[in-house]
């Protein structure tokens, strides 16, 4: 679905620009997003799965309106 693709792109951009994540955290997060995108996981699962990786993701999700 195009809207989900746009949300994933928005999420990836926000993670890349996040100042409160270390380069390693960004790398791990972006890797997981790409992996889930390839697996075609429902977008609704991504925020929940990302929150399990790190609580630092929550502000990013809130900032882009996905939490």
In tens, the pLDDT along 8-58 reads 888 999 999 999 999 999 999 999 888 887 777 667 777 788 888 888 888
Q: What are phi and psi of 40, to 5 degrees?
A: 60, 40
The pLDDT score that the predictor gives to residue 2 is 55
Dist. CA 63–CA 11, nearest whole Å? 10
> Which residues lie below 8 Å from residue 21, measured CB to CB, with a gap of 6+?
15, 29, 54, 56, 60
């Amino acid at each position: 679905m195009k809207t989900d693709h746009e949300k994933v792109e928005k999420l990836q951009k926000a993670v890349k620009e996040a100042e409160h994540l270390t380069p390693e955290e960004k790398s791990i997060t972006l890797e997981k997003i790409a992996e889930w995108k390839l697996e075609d996981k429902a977008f609704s699962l991504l925020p929940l799965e990302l929150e399990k990786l790190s609580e630092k993701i929550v502000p990013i999700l809130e900032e882009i309106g996905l939490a």
